[in-house]
C-alpha cells in the first residue's frame, strides 16, 4: 500500500514573522520500507521559538535548515509499519519528526515512549521544555529557600515550569507575562507576584516588588529587561540565559546591556545553556517532574492548533503572544 505524506519545505529565508510563501507544502508518495526501516505517522508537533532561529542562514547549536529541506521539529508519532525489530507497530516514538504527516526512517534518534499521560502533557512538562526548566533552574540557578526568583516569559512552556519549580523549592517568585489572561493563570499556579508587561511598566513594578533584590533571573526573553535586572541583582546572583525570543524575528542587531560591570560588583554569574547538554540526565528530570505533576504541584496548559496546513501560523503564535503554555500542533 502506497502512503502519501504532506510536508513543508523551506523555499526562502523569512523576514520577521513567517509567511506561507516562505514555504511550500508538498504531497508526495513515500517509498516502500526496506529492512531496518519504520513508517511513522505523526500525531503531535512541538512548536518552539528555536525553530524560527533555524530558518535563518546563521550558525547555531544546530545547522540552519537549508532551502528545499523539510522544516525541523520535535514531536511524537506512531509506528504504523515496521521492518525494524526495535520498533513494534503501534508504539509511540519521539524525536525530530519534522513538519510532515508521515515519514520513513531507520529509527536512529528516536525513542519509544510509554503512554503514561496524554501526549500533549508529555511534550510539555515531561518534554524538552520541562527538562530545560528543570536543569536550567536547579543546576545553573541553584535556588535556595527564600531566594527571590524572577522569570521572564513566565506563562510560556519553559517559564511556567521554572516558576513552579522555584515555588516548590521555597522561593519568592516573580513572573512577567503579557496580558490579563496569562497573568491570571500564573496567579492560579501560586506565583507570588505577577507583572503584566502589556499593561504596566516592568521596571517600576520590579522596583516596588523586589525590594530585597533579585537572586536568580531566568531569562527567556532577552532585550532591555536584562539591563533593568542587572541593576537589582544581589550578591552572588545567578542569571540563567535560556532564550531571547524578543530577538528571534528582529532584523536589527539587539542592543546589549550597558551595566555588565554589576556582575563584577555583585560577584554574580550569568550563564547560557542548552538542554541538549543534559539529555544524558533526562530520567532524573522526568522522575521529579512526574512526581510533582501527580502531586498537583505543577499546573500546565497547552495551546493546541490542528492541521499540517497550519504549521506556519502556529509558529507565529509564539511571537504574537497568542499562546499560553506549550504551543503544540496536532496533525
CATH no. for residue 143?
Answer: 3.40.50.720
pTM of the model: 0.92
- In this structure, the answer to whether residues 157 and 112 fall within a common structural domain is no
Give pLDDT tens digits for 195-239.
999 999 999 999 999 999 999 999 999 888 999 999 999 999 999
pLDDT in the model for residue 45: 98
Give pLDDT tens digits for 234-257.
999 999 999 987 776 666 667 778
**284: which strand partners?**
none
C-beta atoms surrounding 42 within 10 Å: 23
Question: How far, CA to CA in Å, does 56 sit from each of 230, 247, 249, 251, 317?
Answer: 30, 12, 10, 11, 18
Q: Is residue 295 part of a domain?
A: no
Q: Is residue 282 part of a domain?
A: no
Q: Is residue 291 part of a domain?
A: no
**Is the CB of residue 271 less than 8 Å from the CB of residue 239?**
yes
Q: Name the DSSP class of 202.
A: H
- In this structure, the answer to whether residues 160 and 178 fall within a common structural domain is yes
- In this structure, the answer to whether residues 164 and 62 fall within a common structural domain is no
- In this structure, the answer to whether residues 106 and 193 fall within a common structural domain is no
- In this structure, the answer to whether residues 230 and 114 fall within a common structural domain is no
- In this structure, the answer to whether residues 134 and 72 fall within a common structural domain is no
Please calculate the CA angle 95-18-301 and round it to the nearest 5 degrees: 55
Q: Is residue 292 part of a domain?
A: no
Q: How many domains does the chain have?
A: 2
- In this structure, the answer to whether residues 83 and 146 fall within a common structural domain is no
Structural domain boundaries, residue 49: 4-125+300-330
Give pLDDT tens digits for 126-183.
999 999 999 999 999 999 999 999 999 999 999 999 999 999 999 999 999 999 999 9
Q: Which CATH number is 42's domain given? A: 3.90.180.10
- In this structure, the answer to whether residues 10 and 75 fall within a common structural domain is yes
- In this structure, the answer to whether residues 149 and 106 fall within a common structural domain is no
What's the average model confidence in pLDDT over 54-80? 95
pLDDT in the model for residue 247: 73
Amino acid at each position: 500500500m502506497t502512503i502519501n505524506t504532506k510536508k513543508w519545505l523551506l523555499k526562502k529565508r523569512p523576514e520577521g514573522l513567517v509567511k506561507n510563501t516562505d514555504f511550500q507544502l508538498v504531497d508526495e508518495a513515500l517509498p516502500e520500507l526496506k529492512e531496518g526501516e519504520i513508517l511513522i505517522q505523526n500525531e503531535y508537533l512541538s512548536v518552539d521559538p528555536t525553530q524560527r532561529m533555524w530558518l535563518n542562514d546563521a550558525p547555531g547549536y544546530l545547522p540552519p535548515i537549508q532551502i528545499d529541506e523539510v522544516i525541523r521539529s520535535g514531536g511524537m508519532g506512531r509506528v504504523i509499519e515496521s521492518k525494524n525489530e526495535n520498533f513494534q507497530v503501534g508504539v509511540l516514538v519521539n524525536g525530530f519528526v519534522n513538519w510532515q504527516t508521515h515519514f520513513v526512517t531507520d529509527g536512529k534518534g528516536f525513542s519509544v515512549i510509554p503512554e503514561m499521560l496524554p501526549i500533549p502533557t508529555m511534550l510539555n512538562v515531561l518534554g524538552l521544555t520541562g527538562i530545560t526548566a528543570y536543569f536550567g533552574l536547579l543546576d545553573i540557578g541553584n535556588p535556595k529557600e527564600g531566594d527571590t526568583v524572577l522569570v521572564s516569559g513566565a506563562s510560556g512552556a519553559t517559564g511556567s515550569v521554572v516558576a513552579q519549580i522555584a515555588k516548590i523549592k521555597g522561593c519568592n517568585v516573580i513572573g512577567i507575562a503579557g496580558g490579563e489572561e496569562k497573568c491570571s493563570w500564573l496567579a492560579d499556579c501560586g506565583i507570588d507576584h505577577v507583572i503584566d508587561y502589556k499593561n504596566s511598566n516592568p521596571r517600576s513594578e520590579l522596583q516596588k516588588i523586589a525590594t530585597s533584590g533579585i537572586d536568580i533571573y531566568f531569562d527567556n526573553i532577552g532585550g532591555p529587561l536584562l539591563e533593568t535586572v542587572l541593576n537589582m541583582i544581589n550578591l552572588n546572583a545567578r542569571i540563567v540565559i535560556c532564550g531571547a525570543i524578543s530577538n528571534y524575528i528582529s532584523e536589527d542587531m539587539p542592543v546589549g546591556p550597558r551595566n555588565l560591570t554589576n556582575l563584577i560588583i555583585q560577584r554574580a554569574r550569568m550563564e547560557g545553556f542548552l538542554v541538549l547538554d543534559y539529555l544524558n540526565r533526562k530520567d532524573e528530570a522526568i522522575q521529579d517532574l512526574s512526581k510533582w505533576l501527580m502531586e498537583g504541584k505543577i499546573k500546565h496548559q497547552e495551546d493546541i492548533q490542528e492541521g499540517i496546513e497550519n504549521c506556519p501560523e502556529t509558529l507565529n503564535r509564539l511571537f504574537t503572544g497568542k499562546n499560553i503554555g506549550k504551543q503544540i500542533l496536532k496533525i
